[in-house]
Structure 1
Amino acid sequence: MSFDPYIHFQGNCRAAMTAYQALFGGRLELMPYSAAPEWPEGTPEAMKSSDLVMHGTLALPDGRMLMASDFPPGMGGDPQQAVSISHTAPSVDRAKAVFASLLEGGAVIMEFQPIFWSDGFGMVKDRFGTHWMISSPWRG
């Protein structure tokens, strides 16, 4: 069994997922609200014609997925509150590079450093509001 995160944004899902694809690779598919084939009666026109992302999938080479959407037009919400995405890189150098990339325009929660279970671990909130926990391989 596996779990794949589904995260939500307030209008910047397309930019975030494009940035994540540039960093992690994989195949990105984004479907705007305006591409839905049909809507229930009474759906606001602003939703039916919106270019905001209704569903996005970043399919990674290892079979995992990061999925996301924008909140529906006119709907409030708090993106990525109290949730972190954990990523273990194949090496300390790659983990440092991922951490540095996610930090651009974001904020450090915990500096990247050796820790008792890993040669490198850090936590960052990226410029899109997503919290990340970045690790190098576990010590064993």
Structure 2
Amino acid sequence: MSFTPFLFFDGNCEEAIDFYAEILGADEVVKTSFAEAPPEAGMPPDARVMYSHIRIGDHMLMASDILPGQSYAPQASVHVTHYAKDAKDGRAKFARLAEGGEILMDYQETFFAYGFGTCKDRFGTHWMIMIAKEEE
């Protein structure tokens, strides 16, 4: 059994999921818009993303846009953790995710990790990028 994060966006899910797929090296990217839903589903004929995911090996990150008119707050109290291949890979991914966002804790070696940092990306998603000392 596993847990899969499901992120919500307000009209920029496609941009965000493509950004994450590029940075994290996704093996698979799936996107379906509300307009692609069957008519009987009653979804708005909107280009917003109804469902998407990226897959990296056995792991997935799922995402969707909210329906137009729904209230929205970015993922403020949740951080998505990504374990990098090594400290150099972690530093590169962290730097890309932090572009246009906010660094909360600069990527650095800690007592528990060869590399660890937290940031909020330009889409409002919080990330923890790390390479734990027992992983390398």
Q: Same fold (TM over 0.5)?
A: yes
* Shift in Å, 1:39: 3.6
Distance 2:72 2:133 in 1: 35
Q: Secondary structure at the match of 1:75?
A: coil
Partners of 1:115 and 1:21 in 2: how far apart? Answer: 27
d(CA) in 2 for partners of 1:90 and 1:109?
A: 22
User: Is the aligned partner of 1:27 residue 2:28?
Assistant: yes
Partner of 1:16: 16
Task: Read off the aligned partner of 2:32 and give its amino acid letter.
Answer: M
Greater CA radius of gyration, 1 or 2? 1
The residue that corresponds to 2:79 in the other structure is 84
Deviation, structure 1 residue 138: 2.8
CA deviation after TM superposition for structure 1 residue 58, in Å? 0.7
Q: Given the alignment, which residue of 46, 50, 65 partners 1:50?
A: 46
* TM superposition shift of 1:38: 3.0
Task: Name structure 2 gaps, 5 residues minimum.
Answer: none
RMSD: 1.4
Following TM superposition, the consecutive aligned residue runs of length 4 or more in structure 1 with deviations greater than 4 angstroms are none
Structure-1 residue corresponding to 2:4? 4
1:18 counterpart SS class = helix
Stretches of structure 1 lacking an aligned partner (at least 5 in a row)? none
Displacement after TM superposition at 1:57 (Å): 1.0
Q: Give the whole-Å Cα distance in 1 for the aligned partners of 2:16 and 2:133.
A: 28
The answer for the alignment partner of 1:94 in structure 2 is 89
The number of residues matched between the two structures is 134
TM-score by length of 2: 0.93
